[in-house]
Amino acid sequence: MEIYQKLQSVTKNILKEEPLKKHTSFQIGGPADLMLIPECAREVAEISRILREEEIPYFFMGNGSNLLVSDKGYRGAVIKTTGLCEISTSGNSMTVSAGVMMSKAANLLLRNGLSGFEALSGIPGTVGGAVCMNAGAYGSEIKDVLTETTYLDGTQVKTINGQQHNFSYRHSFFSGKPHCILSSKLTLAPGNPNEIKEKMEDYTQRRVSKQPLNLPSAGSTFKRPEGYFASKLIEDCGLKGTRIGGACVSEKHSGFLVNDRGATCEDMLRLIDFVKNEVYKQFGVELELEVKTIEEDWKGVLS
């Protein structure tokens, strides 16, 4: 049976030669040979099995809010997990499928009067993506409220709890592993819905006032170097507004590299290298990318 027909027997959500710039917050990236959007764990497992049997490279992605994809696209299959969108609540806990957006989870927690997620509410990605990289904002990280994660290891469904997540700064048990997160359990504290809403609105206002949310970006481009802030180093180098092609260091927040004039992946990579070199030259600090890069023939795993 032809590969496409095999996959079509599992899911109808298949796109051929799909431009990845339509699926990344940078709005950069050429076409993937195939994009599949499974709607349940069974579909994820079966799709993965077929792709492995056929020796087709593939990777999992969520909302694409932390990816910089080659202009040539990706010669393989992309499994997009945004079709995994179930949510259930029990007492002070909420079990959330990997494809649920962080903002949606935050609003449901607000409705249920559960507090502790407010600072994370504006992170522009999925819960699965946040767990994978231990996403955080304003002093909070997903690890602070996460108690359990169910994931797919090959064709086996497994669950880890608590410290088994091996969380550290922008790192988790899943970093560098080809696993697919399926769902996570968030455990929070009861709170006053009005106070929760006020906190969420405060964090939203902070973002709007300080971040270039009107331009395509992947949020903070670099990780926070120990003892420093990447944005402060970049600003102190005089790099605000620095441009290469359509890629630019944001005038509003120097930690954001933005696509404001139809930037290519090459533009962004050259700007990233320029910023890294200038910061090292002036301060001796080596910046590390927070954004993940996907090349045309990439065969690795997201870290």
* 87-90/93-97 β-pairing: antiparallel
Closest CA to 79 of 14, 22, 6, 139: 14
Tokens of 211: 């971040």
Q: Helices 102-111 and 193-210: crossing angle, nearest 10°?
A: 150
Closest CA to 28 of 58, 69, 63, 80: 69
Q: Which residues are catalytic?
A: 170, 220, 290
Closest CA to 13 of 44, 39, 32, 33: 39
Tokens of 182: 């399926």
- Per DSSP (E only), the strands in 4-69 are 14-19, 31-36, 58-61, 67-69
CB-based contact 281:289 (threshold 8 Å): no
How many other CB atoms are there within 10 angstroms of residue 224's CB atom?
Answer: 18
Q: Which residues contact 268 (CB under 8 A, 6 or more apart)?
A: 26, 28, 68, 247, 257, 259
- Per DSSP (E only), the strands in the chain are 14-19, 31-36, 58-61, 67-69, 74-80, 87-90, 93-97, 114-115, 136-137, 140-141, 146-153, 156-161, 180-187, 189-190, 243-244, 247-249, 257-259, 292-294
How many angstroms separate the CA atoms of 106 and 114, rounded?
9
